[in-house]
A and B are shown apart, each in its own frame.
Chain A
């Protein structure tokens, strides 16, 4: 069965410092991996995805994520955090079979960037 784990309920970081939001996954076969961000009272916004190719994926708002197959991880990173990055972040996985459509979401990690 497919699953996603986001081990941290909350991540606190000072503005200007690098941030990492962790995600590990379990899927049969090759994974398609996604990160979404949710601001208060808003829907989820797509940030980036890994399908194949380069393990380092760049996305919106300066975010990037690194796919690590041996560790089954897809951690979200940003070199310099902004206060406006404070939001709820979701990792999601789908297996790569042609008929697969269902995204499995993690429980979410709240990022708090303090000034």
Chain B
């Protein structure tokens, strides 16, 4: 199994631009988590999906952030418009039900 796949691995963009981060879950997993990691705030849960349905989006910072699961194996996290304070490493993780979460390698986002 290839594990959780994220793309791109690095993204540098200018303030105001739209950013789309992508995640492919481990085959057979049905839970998907998006996290953000920064030095100041550590690891924060942004949104949680179960069986393609968003269950908890209380961690999404503001309306500029949106996430979708168009099918059972794929998810996107979109930031529009992006701001410098969005600079962070974004991880997605998948699990089978409430089992342990498996993390992707992350996307390092830099907004200039």
Given A100-B98, A101-B55, do A44 and B103 touch, yes or no (CB 8 Å)?
Answer: yes
> 8 Å CB contacts to A: which residues of B1-45?
4, 31, 42-43, 45
- What is the distance, in angstroms, from A103's C-beta to the closest C-beta of chain B? 7
What interface size band does chain A fall in? 10 to 19
What interface size band does chain B fall in? 20 to 34
Instruction: Output the nearest chain B residue to A108 by Cβ-Cβ distance.
Output: B42
Cβ-defined contact, B43 with A43, below 8 A: no
Residues of A within 8 A of B (CB): 34, 36, 41-46, 49, 90, 94, 100-103, 105, 107-108
Instruction: Output the nearest chain A residue to B31 by Cβ-Cβ distance.
Output: A101
Residues from chain A with a CB closer than 8 A to the CB of B45 are 102-103
Cβ-defined contact, A45 with B103, below 8 A: yes
Instruction: Output the nearest chain B residue to A100 by Cβ-Cβ distance.
Output: B98
Cβ-defined contact, B103 with A101, below 8 A: no
B50 within 8 A of A: yes
New A-B pairs, 15, CB < 8 Å, besides A43-B93, A43-B103, A90-B43: A41-B108, A43-B4, A43-B105, A44-B43, A44-B91, A44-B93, A44-B103, A49-B100, A94-B98, A101-B48, A101-B55, A101-B98, A102-B45, A103-B45, A108-B42
